[in-house]
Amino acid sequence: MIEADQVVKHFGDVHALNGITLSVDEGEIFGLLGPNGAGKTTLVRILATLLKPTSGRCTLGGIDPHRDPMAVRALIGLAGQNAAVDDLLTGRENLEIVGRLYQLDRAEARRRADDILERLSLTDAADRQVRTYSGGMRRRIDLGASLVGRPRILILDEPTTGLDPRTRNELWQLIRDLVSDGATVLLTTQYLEEADELADRLAVIDLGHIIAEGTPDELKERLGGDRLMASPTEPDDMARVVSILEQVGATAPYVDDRRQQASIPVTNRIEALLAAGQLFENEQIALRDLAVTRPSLDDVFLSITGKRAETDEPEPAAAGRKGRRR
Amino acid sequence: MKAGTTPTTATAGVTGSQLGAPVRAGATGPRNRSTFGRFVSDTLTMTRRNVLYLVRRPQVIVFALISPIMFVSLFNFVFGGSLDVPGLSYANYLIPGIMVQTVMFGGSNTAVGLAEDMTRGVIDRFRSLPMSRLAVLSGRTMADAMRGIITNSVIIVMGFVIGFRFNNGFGWAVASFLLVLLFGYSITWFYAWMGLSLGNVEAVQAASFLPAFPLTFAASTFAPVENMPGWLQVFSAHQPVTQVVDATRAMMQGGEIAGPLVRSLLWCAGIMLVFGFLSVRQYRKG
């Protein structure tokens, strides 16, 4: 449904995209995971007909967004990271105006606005100006605006960036509900948890390259599956802890001195945990913690890129904007 | 696939039943429209959006009403006594000038409004919709021209208070009003281009008054061009504001209409064509 083939975008000396190739099937939720400045928004803008690639080709529903932008625009719904709604208009007016711009007649635009408001639980706030909305409500109305045209492809650019955890969870639920009927979704996010929650398949993007691709589980597999982690109460016991882990694990344990813990990949998590527990018991080593951990996507990201995923800073909006206008 | 034939039935499921509200699939899909039909309909929609913005920023309306009242009073009472204008009372001389000056300065709202839209990301939404691209601009200029109707009406009312009268018949009075609006509309395209090119609200606010000052003051707006130094007359006698002010004044008070009116209309057409073209190009580039 969405194909990108060697898409390159340079803004002068800034190489935002360095040959992105990806393919999203119909009905799939595809996550594009990456830190700030990875090129996610640039790719979204190219797919959404807002930006021309320097080279490479892409199609949505078989249509090239730069050969026939109007046809692609009729196919997609875009919800951007900036909550692109009109503050001084009410929620209903926002949706109605978008409906009218989809060439719907007045009555149909109104009907769709009402439907969407109800499904987004915004009916009570429908006639209030958007500037009075909370952050979560703004994201919902923005999402709603992207649904007015009943898009077959929904492009969500960082739909929950900046929201508190509870609001984020609500929005995730909403997105799952909205797409459960077969729309194709391209979702960008810098939250590993979000990609894990929503995406059927995902690509990790960094510095304009796709550096890994697969289902969330496949990507976790790449780290070697489960790890057994133990940390002694007494720092002096660390050497003994390491020697016990060596007996239950397959390779050399990894010791994190700062956190005072050691870990080792294991093939059978339950067996390894029970065996290690027995050995610690026999050796009389006091432990602060003993656990089997599954690698998080954060670990995946760390292991591929050698750095932590940045989630704290907002996207460098100013730079991005400059780039898009020149 | 043609732009107008969005697959409604196939996609109805997207907005599906999950949250309870059944969607009337395919009841009324997007209509097939010609490019021009789409342009007209989208322009009206965007005009409505921008008029709602005007209405909901009461301070903008208030200032738009106060500044002409202030200008009329200041110029009339401060300069009126010392300026000698041939054959007319100063009030009758001044009001057409103030009207043109007001639409000239009012144009900066177009620039600021567009720059604001550009930075708020809402323009990305419009760009991603299957709508006429020109309508984003024409809807903006149209809404701003509508504001001109209000401010110019206030000026005329204020003019009546200080002694202004129409002395050339009702028909020409209406025509003069329309000419001012037309000029105001053309000039919004210049400001649209400026807003899109600068793209940042602060820069636009700082820059937008610059062209308005020389154009409205070095003109027949407040004082006859004949009294200006020769080098300045070269500019002030030929620039558009003088033509429009002269034509408006003649239509309101009598005098030679044809010459300045034709030149005014040519200027309006020229400004609209050049800056309409430049604005659309700038918007597409975005």
Which of A61, A129, A183 minimises the CB distance to B14?
A: A183
Q: What is the pLDDT of residue B8?
A: 38
Q: What is the pLDDT of residue A239?
A: 87
Q: Which residue of B has its CA nearest to A65?
A: B128
Strands A227-232 and A261-265: antiparallel
Neighbouring CB atoms inside 10 A of B88's CB total: 15
pLDDT per residue as tens, chain A (326 positions): 999 899 899 988 888 899 899 999 988 999 998 888 888 889 999 999 988 899 999 999 999 998 899 999 999 999 877 658 888 999 999 999 999 999 999 999 999 999 999 988 899 999 999 999 988 888 889 989 998 988 899 999 988 887 888 888 888 888 888 777 678 999 998 888 888 888 999 898 888 888 888 888 887 777 667 788 888 888 888 888 888 888 887 777 888 777 788 888 888 888 888 888 888 888 888 888 888 887 766 677 777 766 655 444 333 333 333 333 33
- Per the document, the length of chain B is 286
Q: How far apart are CA B7 and CA A26, in angstroms?
A: 15
Strands A184-189 and A153-157: parallel
Q: How far apart are CA B134 and CA B147, in angstroms?
A: 20
Q: Which residues of B touch A123 (CB under 8 A)?
A: none
B97 — pLDDT class (breaks 50, 70, 90): very high
The burial of B118, by beta-carbon neighbours within 10 Å (0-12 exposed, 13-18 middle, 19 or more buried), is given as buried
The burial of B33, by beta-carbon neighbours within 10 Å (0-12 exposed, 13-18 middle, 19 or more buried), is given as middle
pLDDT in tens, B204-245: 888 888 888 889 888 888 888 888 898 999 898 889 999 999
Q: Which residues of B touch A80 (CB under 8 A)?
A: 121, 124-125
Burial readout A243-282 (b: 16 or more C-beta within 10 A, e: otherwise): ebbeebbeeebebeeeebbbbbbbeeeeebbebbeebbee
Which of A48, A105, A147 minimises the CB distance to B31?
A: A105
Q: What is the pLDDT of residue A307?
A: 61
Q: What is the pLDDT of residue B146?
A: 85
State whether residue B8 sits within 8 Å of chain A by CB. Answer: yes
Chain centroid to CA A149: 24
- Give the residue ranges of DSSP H helices in chain A: 40-47, 69-73, 91-101, 106-119, 135-147, 165-179, 192-198, 216-221, 238-248, 269-283, 297-305, 317-325
- Give the residue ranges of DSSP H helices in A183-237: 192-198, 216-221
Give the mean pLDDT of B63-76: 85
Q: How far apart are CA B46 and CA B196, in angstroms?
A: 17
Strands A29-33 and A184-189: parallel
Which of B7, B21, B127 minimises the CB distance to A115?
A: B21
What is the residue-wise DSSP string for B158-199? HHHHHT----S-HHHHHHHHHHHHHHHHHHHHHHHHHHHHH-
* Residue that wins the pLDDT comparison between B153 and A265: B153
The burial of B116, by beta-carbon neighbours within 10 Å (0-12 exposed, 13-18 middle, 19 or more buried), is given as middle
Inter-chain CB proximity B3 and A150 less than 8 Å = no
Locate B254 and state its tokens: 């009598």
Q: What is the pLDDT of residue B59?
A: 82
Q: How far apart are CA B101 and CA B164, in angstroms?
A: 17
Q: What is the pLDDT of residue A83?
A: 59
Burial readout A3-42 (b: 16 or more C-beta within 10 A, e: otherwise): bbeebbbebeeebbbebbebebeebbbbbbbbbbbbbbbb
How far does the CA of residue A239 sit from the closest CA of chain B (Å)?
56
Q: What is the pLDDT of residue A109?
A: 94
Q: What is the pLDDT of residue B9?
A: 38
Q: What is the pLDDT of residue B22?
A: 34
Q: What is the pLDDT of residue B286?
A: 63
- For chain B, what is the mean pLDDT? 83
Question: Is 80 exceeded by the pLDDT of residue B81?
Answer: no
Q: How far apart are CA A83 and CA A142, in angstroms?
A: 5
Percent composition of chain A: helix, strand, coil (DSSP 3-state, to 5)? 40, 25, 35
Q: What is the pLDDT of residue B259?
A: 93
Which of A129, A151, A324 minimises the CB distance to B14?
A: A151
pLDDT in tens, B126-144: 888 999 888 989 999 888 8
Q: Which B residues, 181 through 220, put their C-beta within 8 Å of a C-beta on chain A?
A: 199
- Per the document, the length of chain A is 326
Hey, where are the domains in chain B? 33-285
User: Of B198, B189, B178, B196, which is closest to residue B270 (Cα–Cα)?
Assistant: B189
Q: What is the pLDDT of residue B86?
A: 78
- Residue found under tokens 């400059």: A322
The secondary structure element, H or E, covering residue A187 is: strand A184-189
Locate B202 and state its tokens: 């602060």
- All domains of chain A in start order, with CATH: 2-220 (3.40.50.300), 226-293 (3.30.70.100)
Inter-chain CB proximity B3 and A178 less than 8 Å = no
Q: Which range among A214-223, B20-29, B73-82 shows the weakest confidence by mean pLDDT? A: B20-29
- Residue found under tokens 């059944």: B22
Q: What is the pLDDT of residue A261?
A: 84
- Give the residue ranges of DSSP H helices in B22-107: 35-55, 58-74, 90-106
Q: What is the pLDDT of residue B33?
A: 66
ipTM above 0.95, yes or no: no
* Residue that wins the pLDDT comparison between B39 and A177: B39
